[in-house]
Structures are given as structure tokens and as C-alpha cells.
Amino acid sequence: MSMDTAKILVVVDYDSVKDLLSETLAQYDVQFTTSREVKLEIDRIGPDAVLLVQPEDGSGIELIQYIQNELPQAIIIFLTEKQDFVLLRDVVRAGAVEYILLPDELNLLNDRMEKIAELMHQQQRKQEASLSGQPFARGRGKVISFYSGKGGSGRTQLSSGYAQALKLESANRVLLIDLNLQYGGVETFLSLDTNRTLADLVPVLHEMNENHIRNVTQRELHSKLEVMLSPRDAETAEQMTEEFISRLIRASRRSYDYVIIDLPTHMDELTYTALEESDQIYYVMTLDTPSVQGFRLVGNLFRQLGIDTEGRLEIVVNMVSKHNEFSVADLKGLIPVPIAAQIGMDQREVQAAVNQGVPLQKTANEKKLGPVAKDIRKWVLSKLT
């Protein structure tokens, strides 16, 4: 599809802006509507791209969400006269790909239209691919985050093990992202070197696509799992923005069936953003009092921050052994959240793998797995059926 054949819907309430835009977009197939009419017309028109000018009553965000819902394929560009960081953030969160300031950036619009054409090409390719038997429809890869309020629970071990098993045992496209921006960790369990990292994507923040992502990922030797490593640098970490994290995750979910994210303990706006973008949050716990206390604190924090975890949050109990302070049954009595999996404890297995520089599982249906790898594999398989 080229831009001349694409259907563009412009939502604008002011005549002056309408005139301006119809001039700028003269070469395209453009229809106009107003914010009052758009809900009635969007489905019928079925545009490929929507240019939405912020309505006077500020209902732009709500309209973006509405359009996203109705037409998940449509590319939404938001235009406004106001430079406002919070609005920008919300607009991007709601699903718009661009934020254009009027009238200053009007000349950018034609430029952007080129990019939209490119995006639409990609979407079309994906759609064709998904019709030919891809596991997920485009744009809806599943984002799974591993989190815990307590360090050392096993987030990194389990997230890398999960991603590895998922890649080995299925035909899904899987991406593992290490969002421990300061310290990393995934590279240890998967034995990767860290020359390319997700920080290399910062310059392409606004046009991030599959190729950009591919350029910074590394493949685990045995499974060919794609891994995006952390810059492992405090200064670089500090330069990361919520917008970057959100765009990174969205671009990733457009290109992969599963995006597995390893998160740090630290709750800041970046962790917050990643949690908000996640379809599933696996909270990793161990069977001891500090872990339960940590979970309670995080629960309060989620409430304060307004993170709605309803239907998305599940517990993964790690390091289950005879020597735990209490049992999984006890934990169920303490915490009213579903338990997704229980992973046994085996220090020898884990240590040997790290020492040899190999992952816990190396091939599909591997016979001689240790208890930890076995439990992770079983969990992954239960999710695949």
C-alpha cells in the first residue's frame, strides 16, 4: 500500500485548522470529520490512518483509546497546539504513534506521512504473515514481566529460563529484554557478551521498528532466543525516559509473539511504565517472611500508583524445597493472588550452568534436565496448550 491509496481520516473541530490541514495534505485521500462525529463514522470509513486534532474539551486521549479499540490496525497521529509533557506521555500510552505541535511542526507532517506509509507496509506484511499461520495476530504480541519487590528472588533466573524454554519448545518469536538498566543480569545466565544494548535504540526512539530491534539483539547460542541486553550503566540508565520504555515495549510487541521482561526491584517511572504495558506480571516470591512483607509493600505501592493489576498479576513461587520457612499452602493463606507456578531449588544445577556458561535448558524436549529447568519447562508447556 502506498500513501496515495491509503485512507486518511482527519478529526478536527476548528475550520482554520481544517483549512490548514487540507492544504498540507492535498495530495492524499483525506476525509474530514469532527470529534463529535468520529465515533459514529470511524467504523464505516475504516481509515488506515487517523490524524486527530486535540478537541477543545480535551477528549483527545479518550478518542485515541476509542479508535485503537475500534480499529487496532489504524495508525493514529495526534496534533495539538499545546506543548505538554504529561499530555504527550498519555497520548503515547494511549497508542498514538506521533505527537505533532501545531502550527510549528506542520511542515513535519508530510515527512511523517512517509513514515506512516512505511508503517503500513510493515503492518500489511505482518498481517499476511499472521494469516499464514503465525501464532498471534500482529501488534498483539504478549508482554510478560517478571517482578519482585525483593532482590534475589530469582526474577532474572526465571525470566531467562522462561524465555529460553518458550523459544525452544514452540515456534513463537520470543524476545527477552533486560530492564535492569544499572546492573543487568540476563547476560550471566545466558552467557552473552554485552557489546550491543537497548541503549543503542535511544536515537531511533521515534521510528523504532523491527530492524532496529534486530540490530541490537543477540541470539542465545542454543535456542537462538533473541535477547536485548541492559546497558549496565547508571548514567545511561538515568537518561532513559518513560516514553522510550513505552515505545520500546510497543515496538517489540509489534514484532514478536512474546516479549519477556526482566525488571529491577526498584520502583521508578520506568519500572512503572513497563508494568503498565504488561499483559501478564509474574511476581516472583520465595517462601519466607521477608518475601511476604515485600509483596504487601508492593501491593500498597501498586494501589498508590494506581497500577491496576486485576487479572494480570500472578505469583511464581521460587526455590521451593524441604527447608523453606513455610509451605506453598501456607502462602496461599497469606496472599490472595493466584499462583502460576512453583519452581524447585537446586543450587548445584544453577551454579554448574553459570560456571559452564550454558543456559539451564539447551534443546527442545531435553531429557536430562535438572529440577529447576524441568519445572520451568513444565510451566511454559502448560501455557502453550
Orientation of helix 269-277 relative to helix 242-255, angle to 10°: 30
Give whichever of 148 and 218 is closer to ligand ADP, judged by the CB atom: 148
Query: Residue numbers of the site for Mg ion (CB under 5 A)?
Result: 155-156, 185
Integer Cα distance of 43 and 73 in angstroms:
12
| Rounded Cα gap, residues 331 and 317, in angstroms | 9
Binding mask 270-309 for ligand ADP (x = CB under 6 A): --------------x-------------------------
Residue 134, helix vs strand vs coil? coil
Cα separation of the two ends of the chain: 36
Q: CB of residue 174 vs ligand ADP: minimum separation in angstroms? A: 18
Least separation in angstroms between residue 21's CB and Mg ion is 48
Residue range at the interface with ligand ADP (CB under 6 A); choices 32-40, 42-50, 104-112, 150-158:
150-158
From residue 223, how far is each of 61, 134, 164, 171, 190 by CA, in Å?
Answer: 41, 19, 7, 11, 10
**For Mg ion, the closer CB: 98 or 220:** 220
What amino acid occupies position 99? Y
Does residue 217 touch ligand ADP according to CB under 6 A?
no
HSE value, Cβ hemisphere, 13 Å, CA-based, for 375: 19
Residue 123 binding partner per list Mg ion, ligand ADP, none, with a CB distance cut-off of 5 to 8 Å that depends on partner kind: none
Instruction: Tell me whether residue 27 or residue 347 sits nearer to ligand ADP (CB atom).
Output: 347
Query: Which region among 61-69, 204-212, 344-352, 362-370 touches ligand ADP (by CB under 6 A)?
Result: 344-352
- Give the shortest CB-264-to-Mg ion separation in angstroms: 7
Q: Are strands 174-178 and 226-228 parallel, antiparallel or unpaired?
A: parallel
Query: Which amino acid does the sequence have at 265?
Result: T
Q: Are 160 and 262 in contact (CB under 8 A)?
A: yes
- Contact between 262 and 176 (Cβ < 8 Å): yes
Minimum CB distance to ligand ADP smaller for 284 or for 292: 284
Cβ atoms of 117 and 27 within 8 Å: the answer is no
Contact partner, 231, from ligand ADP, Mg ion, none, Cβ < 5-8 Å per class: none
> Does 359 help bind ligand ADP (rule: CB under 6 A)?
no
* Sites of contact with ligand ADP (CB under 6 A): 148, 151-157, 185, 284, 318-319, 343, 345-347, 350, 372
